[in-house]
Structure 1
Amino acid sequence: MYGKAFAPEYQGELGAELSVNSSYEDVLVAARRARGAADGPREAARAALAEAEAGRRLGRVAEAETAWRASYRSARAAGEPGGMAWALWSGGTLARQCGRLALARRLLAAAVAFAEPSGDRLAHGYALAGLAETGRIQGDYEAVAELHEELLAQARAHGEARHMVWAMSGIAQMHRNTGGYAKALELFEESAEVAERAEDWRGLAWSLRGVADVRSVLGETAEALRLLSRGEALCRELDLAGALAYNHKMRGNVLYRAGRYEEAAEVYGGALTEFRSMSEPRGTALSRLGLVKSRAHLGWPRDEVAAELDDVEREVTRIGLRHARDMVRSFRAELSAGRTAVPAPGATTHRSPAVPARS
């Protein structure tokens, strides 16, 4: 069993004032007010942590960076290793979001080290989850699959719905990326059900995106688009800038799989703008990949397609995204085998006005 979802990153008075579904603009206002009124470093650390997390999820990277560091300094001044762990977790999560995966691992490992002796079980669990997610994003499934399962078991044992949703979604994503679509769909749908019953709307938005992805792979385009529309509404309601951009990128994926290349290119272009505005290199690279694949089908010159694929591969390799690198190479092989029609170098092509200029 599990209870209603809660947000352990909102602590002290903020924990009573805010919920897991609070708008992040509202969280920022409350956190800044609490920082201004803090009568000691412990309260200041808690307020700065909430500010950092709201800023991160709104895509305000510089503000989030400043806030998590302030939280860490205040927690250290207060002699609170648990508070230091939470600040490092926030910093590590931000580093991962910014594509700095080596830094993310260092910060999250430090968070684990501070959380373990502090007795803050949730800080310890979240820091371990951060390490697991970083490895999953890199494609190192063998190293982190067992940790995902252990964290899911812990979340079930303690009735923590939000952590259950995170772990199930992560495990589902690994199954999906390795071709286990039936198991992935089962887990994504279970995570969506848990999130909805626990009133974790952020978790629901991410889970719906996963369900839509697998439904699309199975050829259920209309259902996938419907699920994404529902997830988009949740993202907008909660000011989830990053989740909204990934929702749009997934809509591009669904349209691409359905052979609707002009629509896909337009949606990928919009997602690319969103990711760039929040300095999110992983989403930027994935949107670029979707965009160049769509353009290849629309008749982009072969040499321009090849150059863009090479640049995207360099970027995902730099970040450490193994699965994305494999996708680039797979599409390049598809082009070489002639399974995607693109004109020969120097050929004259018609370029649809719906496809934005190369960026």
Structure 2
Amino acid sequence: MYGKAHAPEYQGALTTLSVNSSLVDVLAAGTEQLRAAERAGQRAEAARSGLAVAEAHRRLGQVREADLAWKASYRAARDAGDVAAMAWALWSGGTLARQRGALPLARRLLELAAELGERGGDVVARGYSLAGLAETGRIQGDYEAVGRLHEQLLAEARRRGEARHTVWALEGIAQMHRNSGAHDSAYALFEEAAEIAERAEDRRGHAWALRGLADVVSVRDGDTGRALALLAEAETTCRAMNLSSALAYNHKMQGNVLYRAGRWAEARERYELALDEFRAMGEPRGEALARLGLAKSLARLGRDRAETATELAELARTLERIGLRHARQMVTRAQEELGVDAGPRTDTGPGPEAGVGVGTGTGTGTGEGTAR
């Protein structure tokens, strides 16, 4: 069946690092090994240790450092003629671009990464890159196009017994089911992902799965207590592993759950916390979604209607610039729920986002990398 989860992005001399290693420890070990490889003129090893450095920086929310690191890793891999290492560096860069809201760039880099992964004979690099493309499309709401790719990648991961990749695919498919209103199937998929992640000791994947379960429990069952308990368990893991982005999305989900329960003052506090965290790491998509939740909470707490209308109109433009096709629909539903003037309409087409309908809270997209 599934063995213990491993982290294929920790390569070369860093293969002994665990998928659950603290990102601070990964960064320290990766930086040390990178410097040693550079002193020895070992370009291939520099590329692979540099990948771990880039990923640690990215997951810690250190965008500028991550950008420099993945590019340096790519240059070292190119100089060494290591095509597979070039693919991994581009995967890291594409994942960072998605995290920063640069979705067209993310697609270009991930397409190149998949191509180089295949050319370099690295099936895992190819799979991770295709998964990144699928996740980018899912975030944009292009479910029809990427749903089949998610299913294909899930089948491949199951066949190879790759627990971490299986968990990621299950969570992505579950999110699409949840966003489309199929709450029972979404719950079952998140539950399976949580079980596989727990058995495989994939703490990151388990934390994301718990977040998905909490969302469904809140929306479908109205069980605020259980939802918050699941999120508290996931938050413990995020803090232990220094998962900055996952922690911010966890806090945003806490806001969603509290908002749905009519606990608007508490929801406001959670959204404000998430907003600060997203801004600190330069993650515009998460920032916009936290702003949407905060705007709705403030409106419920008596904020001036004109201010709410202005805020929502600005958010619609912001989300459209990021490239989310469902952005206008998200804000329109919030405007309808709150009874504020929608202003001039700029329709970007359909594409449901979880929890934006009347009385259900703000969007719940999984953000960068889910279990990555």
TM-score under structure 1 length normalisation: 0.93
Give the aligned partner of residue 134 of structure 2: 132
Give the aligned partner of residue 272 of structure 1: 275
Q: Report 1:33-112 matches (<5 A).
A: 33-38=32-37, 39=40, 40-112=42-114
Give the aligned partner of residue 303 of structure 2: 300
Give the aligned partner of residue 348 of structure 1: none
State how far apart, in whole Å, the 1-side matches of 2:315 and 2:296 are. 11
Is 1:283 the counterpart of 2:286? The answer is: yes
Cα deviation per residue 1:37-67 (whole Å; 9 max; x = unaligned)? Answer: 1131000000110000000000000000000
State how far apart, in whole Å, the 2-side matches of 1:322 and 1:60 are. 27
State how far apart, in whole Å, the 1-side matches of 2:4 and 2:315 are. 41
Structure whose alpha-carbon radius of gyration is higher: 1
Give the aligned partner of residue 3 of structure 1: 3
Is the 8 Å Cα contact of residues 13 and 49 (structure 2) preserved in structure 1? Answer: no
Give the aligned partner of residue 27 of structure 2: 28
Give the aligned partner of residue 313 of structure 2: 310
Q: What is the SS of the residue equivalent to 2:252?
A: helix
Q: What is the SS of the residue equivalent to 1:322?
A: coil
Give the aligned partner of residue 213 of structure 2: 211
State how far apart, in whole Å, the 2-side matches of 1:336 and 1:239 are. 40
Shift of 1:321: 1.9
Is the 8 Å Cα contact of residues 93 and 130 (structure 1) preserved in structure 2? Answer: yes
State how far apart, in whole Å, the 1-side matches of 2:68 and 2:209 are. 30
Give the aligned partner of residue 252 of structure 1: 255
Give the aligned partner of residue 201 of structure 2: 199
State how far apart, in whole Å, the 1-side matches of 2:246 and 2:93 are. 18
State how far apart, in whole Å, the 2-side matches of 1:337 and 1:298 are. 15
Cα deviation per residue 1:216-247 (whole Å; 9 max; x = unaligned)? Answer: 00201100000000000000000101100000
Amino acid at match of 2:22: S
Shift of 1:334: 2.4
Amino acid at match of 1:49: L
Shift of 1:324: 4.1
State how far apart, in whole Å, the 2-side matches of 1:151 and 1:50 are. 24
State how far apart, in whole Å, the 2-side matches of 1:149 and 1:323 are. 22
Amino acid at match of 1:21: N
Is 1:237 the counterpart of 2:236? The answer is: no
Shift of 1:326: 1.8
Shift of 1:98: 0.2
Shift of 1:139: 0.5
State how far apart, in whole Å, the 2-side matches of 1:181 and 1:82 are. 39
Amino acid at match of 2:254: R
State how far apart, in whole Å, the 2-side matches of 1:191 and 1:324 are. 28
Give the aligned partner of residue 167 of structure 2: 165
Is 1:329 the counterpart of 2:332? The answer is: yes
Q: Report 1:138-153 matches (<5 A).
A: 138-153=140-155
State how far apart, in whole Å, the 2-side matches of 1:54 and 1:231 are. 19
Amino acid at match of 1:259: G
Greater relative contact order, per chain length (Cα 8 Å cut-off, separation 6+): 2
Is the 8 Å Cα contact of residues 286 and 324 (structure 1) preserved in structure 2? Answer: no
Is the 8 Å Cα contact of residues 25 and 239 (structure 1) preserved in structure 2? Answer: yes
State how far apart, in whole Å, the 1-side matches of 2:328 and 2:176 are. 16
Q: What is the SS of the residue equivalent to 2:213?
A: helix
State how far apart, in whole Å, the 2-side matches of 1:144 and 1:88 are. 20
The number of aligned residues is 337
Is the 8 Å Cα contact of residues 292 and 309 (structure 1) preserved in structure 2? Answer: yes
Superposed CA RMSD: 1.0
Q: What is the SS of the residue equivalent to 2:15?
A: helix
Task: Give 5+ residue unaligned stretches, structure 1.
Answer: 339-359
State how far apart, in whole Å, the 1-side matches of 2:313 and 2:163 are. 42
State how far apart, in whole Å, the 2-side matches of 1:19 and 1:117 are. 28
State how far apart, in whole Å, the 2-side matches of 1:2 and 1:326 are. 40
TM-score under structure 2 length normalisation: 0.89
State how far apart, in whole Å, the 1-side matches of 2:110 and 2:329 are. 27
Could you list the runs of 4 or more consecutive aligned residues of structure 1 that deviate by over 4 angstroms after TM superposition?
A: none
State how far apart, in whole Å, the 1-side matches of 2:330 and 2:100 are. 21
State how far apart, in whole Å, the 2-side matches of 1:207 and 1:254 are. 16
Give the aligned partner of residue 345 of structure 1: none
Give the aligned partner of residue 356 of structure 1: none
Task: Give 5+ residue unaligned stretches, structure 2.
Answer: 342-372
